Amino acid sequence: MSKVSIRNKKASFEYHLNDVYVAGIMLTGTEIKSIRASKASINEAYCFLHNGELWVKGMHIAEYEPGSYNNHAPLRERKLLLNAREIEKIEKELKVKGTTLIPLEIFLNEKGIAKLKIALATGKKLFDKRDDLKLKDAKREMDRVKKARL
Q: Has domain 5-124 been given CATH number 2.40.280.10?
A: yes
Q: How far apart are CA 78 and CA 56, in angstroms?
A: 5
Question: Could you tell me what percent of the chain has a pLDDT over 70?
Answer: 98
Higher pLDDT, residue 126 or 99: 99
pLDDT at 2: 57
- Whole-model pTM over 0.85: no
Q: How far apart are CA 87 and CA 18, in angstroms?
A: 15
Question: Which tens digits make up the pLDDT trace of 42-71?
Answer: 888 889 999 989 999 988 888 887 777 777
DSSP codes of every residue in 112-134: S-EEEEEEEEEEPPHHHHHHHHH
Contact assessment for residue 21 and residue 118, using Cβ atoms and an 8 Å cutoff: yes
pLDDT at 106: 92
Q: How far apart are CA 142 and CA 15, in angstroms?
A: 26
Q: Provide the CA 118 distance to its chain's centre, in angstroms.
A: 6
